Chains A and B, each alone.
Chain A
Amino acid sequence: MSVSRRTLLAAGAATLAAPAIVRAQSTSAPIRIGEINSYTAIPAFTLPYRMGWQLAVEQVNAAGGVLGRKLEVISHDDAGKPQDAVRLAGALLDETKVDVLAGGFLSNVGLAMSDVAKQRKRLFVASEPLTDALVWEQGHRYCYRLRPSTYMQVAMMVDDAVKLGAKRWVTVSPNYEYGQSLVKWFKLLMAQRQPGIEFVAEQWPALGRIDAGATVAALAQARPDAIFNGTFGPDLTNFVRQGNTRGLFEKRGVVSVLTGEPEYLEPLGDETPEGWIVTGWPVESVTDASNAGFIAAYRAKFGEMPKMGSVVGHATITAIAAGIAKSGSVETEAMADGFKGAKFATPFGEAYWRAQDNQGTLGTYVGRTAMKGGKGLMVDWRYVDGAKAMPTDEDVKKMRPA
C-alpha cells in the first residue's frame, strides 16, 4: 500500500487538529454565547448594552463561571437587517459552535432569529425585542425573552392612566409593529378598566421621520384630555419640542412608554415635560443594593452612568448563566426545559423565567417625569415586577401555540 503525500498531510493535519477537538469537549473549555445585535443601526441603545454584557461576563467569570466553565461571548452586528442576523446565527451555530444564541433589538430581527432557533432546535435568548409575538403567537420552546413586552409595558401603566380620569384620549406611536401593538393593548386594557373612554384621534409618524409640527397640530385639533405616546429617540425629542412650544401638553395627562429610560430622557434635557407617566429607569435615584452595586461596578469599569441598555445587556448574561446552571448542561433540550423557573439576579432585583411562556419577569420602573438642574429625571417611581404585569395563564395559553 502506497502512502501518498496528500494522505500524509491530511493525517498530520488531523493529528494537529485533534487536541482542539478534545479541548472543546472538555469541561474546562468556555461556554460560548453567540450574540447578535444592531450595533451600527441602533448605537444609542446597543453600545451601552454591549458594555452591560461585557461587565456581566467579567463578573460571572470572576465568580468562577458556570458549571465550572468560563463564559465567552462572541458578538456580531446585524446592521439592523433580519437576513444578516439569520446568516450570522448560522455562522455562530455552525462555525463558532456556540452553545446559546442571544441578542436582538428590532422585533423582526428577534423573530427571524427565533425562527432559526425553532428550525435548528437550538436555544435563543432574546434580550431586547419587545414584540408579544416572540413568546405568544410565534412562541416555541427554544425561545426565551428577557425584557417586558409591549403588553407588559402598557399593563404596568394602566393603573396610573386610569387615575387620570381622562375621557378623550389621543394616541401617537411609530408606524410599525411595536407602535401598533402598544396602541392596540392600551386601547384594549383601558376600555376594560374605564368604560366610556373615547379615543378621538391617532397619529402614526414614520419611525425616525416624524413631522412633529403637523403631528402636534393634528393631535391638538382633537382637543383631547390625555395623550398616549409610543415614540422614542429622535422622534420623541422633535415631538416634545413642538408640543412644548405649542402648549400641547399643558393641563393634559400624558402616558408615555420608555420615555423614562436614560437614553431617551437625556436628549430631552431642559425641555423634559413634567408629570408624564412613563416607564424607564430612575438611574440617579435608585439606592437599593442591587441597583447601587451594578451602577458602581459599571461606573468603575467604564467611567460613565449606565443606561437601560446596560441593564438589559447585563441581565441577559446573568439570566443565561442562571438558566445553564439550573439545567446542569449546555445541551439544548436540557436547557430548553431547565431554563423554565430559573431565578436570576438583575440590577432591578431577582427575576425568573416563566414556565408557561418563557418570558422573563424582569420588570421596569413606572414613575413621573420631572426636571432638576436642566436635566430630566423620574420621580414618584415604583418598580413593577414583570410577573405582575401579565395576562392570565388561560389567556396566554390561548395565544401561545402548544
Chain B
Amino acid sequence: MDLIFLQLLTGLAGASTLFLVAAGLTVIFGVTRVVNFSHGSLYMLGAFIAWSLLSRLPREPEYFVLGVLGAAVATAAIGAVLEVVLLRRIYRAPELLQLLATFGVVLVVQDVALWIWGAVDLSLSRPRWLRGAVEIAGLRFPFYDLVLIVVGPAVLGGLLLLFHRTRWGLLVRAATQDRDMVAALGVDQRVLFTSVFALGAGLAGLGGALALPQGSANLNMDLSVIAEAFVVVVVGGMGSLGGAFLAALLIGVLQAFGIALVPKITLVLVFLVMAAVLVVRPHGLLGKPQAMARGEVEALAPIRQAGPALQLLGAVALVLAILAPFVAGPYLLSVLTEAAVAVLFAASLHVMMGPGGMASFGHAAWFGVGAYAAAFAAKGLGAEMAVGLLLAPFAAGGLALLVGAFVVRMSGVYLAMLTLAFAQIAWAVAFQWVEVTGGDNGVLGVWPDSWAADKPTMYWLALLLCVGGALVLRRALFAPFGFALRATRDSALRAEAIGLDAHRLRLAAFVLAGAGAGLSGAVFAYAKGSVFPTYMAIPHSVDALVMVLLGGVQTMAGPVVGAVTFTVLQSWLLMGDFWRIKLGLLIIALVLAFPTGIAGAAAAAWDRWRGRAA
C-alpha cells in the first residue's frame, strides 16, 4: 500500500513535468492554430539558459526561483522574436505550413545551441535543499518532486486566472473563437498573438528550467520531449488547459505503474494511451470540435489538369531523368534514386493531405511496412525481388485498411496525431520484436537480384516504379474518385447529400496512400540493401510532410517538386559542415518566399504572366 502511494506520488511528479511542457504548446495552438514543432527547442533553450544563469547565481532557494524565472522570461523573449520575425508572416498560409517553418527553427536551434554551449551535457550542481528527500511511509521521496507536484497545478491555476479573470485573457479567448470578429472590434490581433506565443514559449522555457535539477541540459532534449508534449496536448484536447492537465496526470501515473509491471512498454506507452483515448473520444478528453475561424477555410479552386506547357515541362523532366545515368556519376545516381523514392513517398502523402484533406504525422509507417515486407520476402522467403516489390504495397495497403477504419472518422490535427500513434506502435513492434525484425539492428542483405544490381538499372527500376506509381496516383485524383474525394474534403455534408459515401472515399484514399508509400519503401529497401526501424520513425514522417509542404499541398506537381528539392538539398548539405543550420534557414526562407509551396508559387506566377486571375 505504501509502495503504491509512493509510486502514485512519483507519477504525479512526472505528470507535473509533462504538463509544464504541454501547457505552452496547447496555449499556442488554441489561439494561433500553429502546430509548433519548435516547442521542444524552446524547452531545451530554457534548460540551457537556466544552466547559464543558475551556475553563476548563489545556491539559495530564492536565487533558484529567480534563475528559473529568468530563463522562462528569456525563452519568452525568444518566442516573441520568433513570432514577429517568422510566424506572423505566414498565419494566412495553408494549414500546417507553420509546422514547416518551425521545423526549420528546430534545425537552426540545434546548431546554435551546440555552438553556444558545446557538446558536453551540462548538469547543475544541486545544493543540499534540492537534493533532499522527505520520509514518506518509511521511504524516501525527493523534496524537489514534491515541489514539482505543487508547481504543476499552480501554473494551471495561474493560467486559468489569466485567461478568465483578465481583459487580456478575455480577448485571447475571443480570438480563439473568432479572430476576424475580434479584429473588427478594434483589437490589435498582432499584439495578442505575439503575447500568446511569448507566453507559450515562456512556459516551455519554464518546463526546461525546472527539469534541469533532475538531470542535465543536453542537445537531445528538444526531440525527446516534443512527441510526448504533442501527445499530452492531443489526449487532453487541443487548446484545452484543463484537458492537458488531465492527460498529463493520466500518462504520468500510467507510466509510473506501467513500467513497474511491463518494463519494456516504455517505447510505446504514451502512444498506446493516445490511440485508445482518440478512438473513444475523437477530440481528446476535454476538447471540443474545432471552431472554424471565419474565413480560414477558403473554398479551394478545383485542381486543373496541367496545361500543355506544364505537361511539356513534365515530359522534359522525365526524359532528362531517364537519361541521367549516361551523365551522372554513381553518387548523383544514388541521390537521384532516393529522389525517385521520395517522389512516390511524398505523392502518396499528398493524396491524403491535398485532395483528401487528411494530414498525416505518421506516413513513414507505410513506408516502413513496405520495406519490411520486402525484407521478409527477400530474407524470410528467399523470394525474388519482384515478389518483394509486389508484396509491399499490398502489405502496407492492407494494414492501412485496418488502421484507416479508425483514422478517417476524424479530422485535422487529431487525425494526424492518431496516424502518429499508429506509426509509433508499428515502429515499436519493429524495434522490439527482435526475433522477427532484428530489432534496431534491422534486416541486412536485402540486395536486389543480380539483373538489377548495377546502379543505373536499379535507378531505372526505381524511376519506373516510383514515378509510375506517382502517375497512377495522379490519374486516380483526376478520375471521378479524385473529384468525389475533394468534394468530401470541401463539404462532407454536401457530398453525402449527393450520395457520396465520405467514409468509404476517405478510407480508399488512405489505403491508396498507404500502398503507394509501401511500394516506395520496398524500392528503398532494395536500393539500400537494408531495412531499419528508423524508416518508420517520426523524423521520416516529418520528412514526408516537409516535402509535401515545401512543394505545395494544393498543386499536383507540389509533392514531386518538394521531394526532389528536399532530397537533393539534404544530401548535398549533409556533405558539408553545419548542414542543420543551413537546411533550417533555407527551409525558413522558402516558407517565407513561397507560402503556397514552390509549385504553388510557380503556378501563381504562371497565371499572372498569362494574365489570368489566379
Residues in chain A within 8 A of chain B (CB atoms): 40, 43-44, 47-48, 76-77, 79, 81-84, 86-88, 90-91, 94-95, 107-108, 111-112, 114-116, 118-119, 131, 133, 138, 175-177, 180, 201-206, 208-209, 211-215, 217-218, 220-221, 233-234, 237-238, 241-242, 244-247, 263, 266-271, 374
| A218 near B263: Cβ-Cβ < 8 Å | yes
B324: min CB distance to chain A, Å: 15
Asked, given contacts A203-B263, A234-B220, A245-B142, whether A94 binds B214 with beta carbons under 8 Å apart, the answer is no
Decide yes or no: A374 and B125 within 8 Å by CB, A175-B264, A213-B142 being known contacts: yes
Q: Specify the chain A residue showing the minimal Cβ separation from B431.
A: A176
A203 to chain B minimum Cβ distance, whole angstroms, is 5
With a cutoff of 8 Å between Cβ atoms, the chain A residues found around residue B266 in the complex are 175, 204-206, 209, 211
Is B13 engaged at the interface, CB distance under 8 Å to the other chain? yes
Bound-state CA distance A213–B143 (Å) is 12
Surface stretch bound by A, among B3-11, B189-197, B459-467, B548-556: B3-11
B441 touches A267 (CB 8 A): no
* Contact residues of B between 492 and 548, Cβ < 8 Å to A: 524, 528-530, 532, 534-535, 539
Set of chain B residues within 8 Å of A268, measured between Cβ atoms:
123
In the complex the two chains form, is A217's CB within 8 Å of B260's CB?
Answer: yes
Residue contact B214 to A241, C-beta cutoff 8 Å? yes
Measured in the bound complex, the distance between the Cα atoms of B589 and A163 in whole Å is 62
A95–B331 touching, CB < 8 Å? yes
For the complex with contacts A112-B528, A180-B439, A234-B220, 14 further pairs of A-B residues with Cβ separation under 8 Å are A40-B110, A82-B534, A86-B529, A86-B530, A94-B330, A95-B329, A95-B330, A175-B266, A217-B10, A217-B256, A221-B3, A237-B216, A246-B142, A271-B125
A131 CA / B539 CA spacing, docked (Å): 24
User: Complex: how many Å from CA A247 to CA B139?
Assistant: 9
Residues of A within 8 A of B442 (CB): 82, 108, 111-112
Kindly identify which residue among B121, B133, B139, B439 contacts A234, using a CB–CB cutoff of 8 Å: B121
Residue of A91, A95, A221 touching B260 (CB-CB under 8 A): A221
- Specify which chain B residues have a CB less than 8 angstroms from the CB of A212 in the assembled complex: 214-215
Q: How distant is B363 from chain A, measured CB to nearest CB, in Å?
A: 16
Do A267 and B530 contact each other (CB < 8 Å), given the known contacts A90-B331, A176-B439? no
Chain A CB within 8 A of B403 CB: no
Among B267, B334, B574, find the residue whose CB has the most chain A CB atoms closer than 10 A. Answer: B574
Chain A nearest Cβ from B327, distance in angstroms: 13
Chain A, Cβ-Cβ closest to B267? A206
| Bound Cα distance A81, B537 (Å) | 11
Q: A211-B14, A217-B10 are in contact. Are A112 and B530 (CB under 8 A)?
A: yes
Q: How far is the CA of A15 from the CA of B358 in the complex (A)?
A: 57
Q: Does B369 contact A (CB under 8 A)?
A: no
Determine the distance from Cα of A87 to Cα of B532 in the docked complex, in whole angstroms. Answer: 15
Cα–Cα, bound, A144→B14 (Å)? 44
Is the CB–CB distance between A245 and B439 below 8 Å? no
A83 adjacent to B256 (CB under 8 Å): no
A-B CB proximity, top 6 nearest: A43-B119, A94-B330, A238-B215, A218-B260, A91-B331, A267-B121
In the assembled complex, how far is the CB of residue A197 from the closest CB belonging to chain B, in whole angstroms? 19
A234–B218 touching, CB < 8 Å: yes
Q: Mark B118-146, 1 if CB is under 8 A from A, else 0.
A: 01111101100001110000011111110
Decide: A234 and B216 in contact? CB cutoff 8 A: yes
Compute how far the CA of A266 lies from the CA of B120 in the bound complex, rounded to whole angstroms.
Answer: 8
Contact assessment for A108 and B121 in the assembled complex, using a CB-CB cutoff below 8 Å: no
Q: How far is the CB of B375 from chain A (nearest CB, A)?
A: 12
Is the pair B255, A214 in contact by a Cβ cutoff of 8 Å? yes
A65 CB to closest chain B CB, in angstroms?
Answer: 26
How many residues in B have their beta carbons less than 8 Å from beta carbons of A? Answer: 74
Q: Is the CB of A218 within 8 A of B133?
A: no
Q: Which of B3, B266, B432 has the most CB of A within 10 A?
A: B266
B532 and A91 form a contact (CB under 8 A): no
B163 within 8 Å of A by Cβ?
no
Contacts of B228 in A (CB 8 A): 209
Q: Does B571 touch A at the CB level, under 8 Å?
A: yes
Cα distance A242–B256 when bound, in Å? Answer: 14
Please indicate the chain B residues that have their CB under 8 angstroms from the CB of A246 in the complex.
133, 139-142
**A237-B114 in contact (CB<8A):** no
Question: Could you jot down 22 A-B contacts, CB within 8 Å?
Answer: A48-B119, A83-B524, A84-B571, A86-B528, A88-B574, A94-B330, A94-B331, A95-B329, A95-B330, A95-B331, A111-B444, A138-B444, A175-B267, A180-B434, A211-B259, A211-B266, A213-B13, A213-B142, A214-B256, A234-B216, A267-B123, A271-B123
> Is B445 on the interface with A (CB-CB < 8 A)?
yes
* Contact of B140 with A87 in the complex, beta carbons under 8 Å: no
The minimal Cβ–Cβ distance linking B398 to chain A, given in whole angstroms, is 25
Q: Which residue of B lies closest to A247 (CB)?
A: B140
Answer yes or no: B180 CB below 8 A from chain A CBs: no
B344 on interface, CB distance cutoff 8 Å: no
Residue of A nearest to B220 (CB): A208
Contact with A along B66-80 (1 / 0, CB 8 A): 000000000000000
Instruction: Looking at the assembled complex, report how far the CB atom of B341 sits from the nearest CB atom of chain A, in whole angstroms.
Output: 10
B260–A79 contact, CB under 8 A? no
Q: A203 to B259, Cβ gap below 8 A?
A: yes
Give the distance to chain B from A113, nearest Cβ to Cβ, in Å: 10
A214 touches B7 (CB 8 A): yes
CB A108 to nearest CB in B, in angstroms, measures: 5
Q: What residue of chain A has the Cβ atom nearest to residue B338's Cβ?
A: A87
Q: B232 in the interface, Cβ–Cβ < 8 Å?
A: no
The CA-CA distance from A177 to B330 in the complex, in Å, is: 33
Contacts of B7 in A (CB 8 A): 214, 217-218, 221
B594 contacts A by Cβ under 8 Å: no
In contact, B119 and A116 (Cβ under 8 angstroms):
no
> Hey, which chain B residues are within 8 Å of A76, CB to CB?
574-575
Nearest A residue (CB) for B111 = A40
In angstroms, Cα B331 to Cα A95, docked, is 7
Q: Are A234 and B263 in contact (CB under 8 A)?
A: no
Contact of A177 among B260, B264, B441, B534 (CB under 8 A): B441
Q: Which of A87, A119, A269 has a CB less than 8 Å from the CB of B447?
A: A119
**Chain B residue with the shortest CB-CB distance to A205:** B266
Q: How far is the CA of A245 from the CA of B530 in the complex (A)?
A: 44
Given contacts A115-B445, A206-B266, contact A213 B14 (CB under 8 A): yes
Q: How far is the CA of A138 from the CA of B529 in the complex (A)?
A: 14
Closest Cβ–Cβ distance, residue B338 to chain A (whole Å) = 7
* A83-B331 in contact given A40-B579, A206-B267 (Cβ < 8 Å): no
Q: Nearest chain-A residue to B444 (Cβ)?
A: A115
Q: Smallest CB–CB gap between A133 and chain B, Å? A: 6
- Tell me if A115 and B330 are in contact (CB < 8 A): no
Minimum Cβ distance to chain B for residue A264 (Å): 8
B259-279 interface mask toward A, CB cutoff 8 Å, 1 = contact, 0 = none? Answer: 110011011000000000000
Give CA–CA (A40, B220) in the complex, Å: 10
B111, B216, B334, B441: the one within 8 Å of A131 (CB): B441
User: Whole-angstrom distance between the alpha carbons of A102 and B154 in the complex?
Assistant: 53
A242 lies within 8 A of B142 (CB):
yes
Q: Which residues of B contact A107 (CB under 8 A)?
A: 440-441
Report Cα–Cα, A151/B120, bound state, in Å.
27
Q: When A176-B431, A218-B263 are in contact, do A211 and B141 touch as well, CB less than 8 Å?
A: no
Contact indicator A269/B574 (Cβ below 8 Å): no
Q: For the complex, is B423 an interface residue (Cβ under 8 Å from A)?
A: no
Q: How far is the CB of B225 from the nearest CB of chain A, in Å? A: 8
| Least CB distance, A190 to chain B, in whole angstroms | 19
User: B574 — which chain A residues lie within 8 A by C-beta?
Assistant: 76-77, 79, 84, 88
**Does A108 contact B216, Cβ atoms closer than 8 Å?**
no
**Contacting residues, chain B, for A87 (C-beta < 8 A):** 331, 334-335, 338, 528, 571
Given contacts A242-B142, A374-B125, contact A119 B529 (CB under 8 A): yes
Q: Nearest chain-A residue to B260 (Cβ)?
A: A218
* Distance, CA A237 to CA B133, complexed state (A): 18
A107-B441, A176-B440, A267-B121 known; A204-B263 Cβ under 8 A: yes
- Closest-by-CB residue of B relative to A129 is B441
Complex-state Cα separation, A111 to B532, whole angstroms: 10
Q: A203-B259, A238-B214, A263-B120 are in contact. Are A83 and B535 (CB under 8 A)?
A: yes
Closest-CB distance, A43 to chain B (whole angstroms): 4
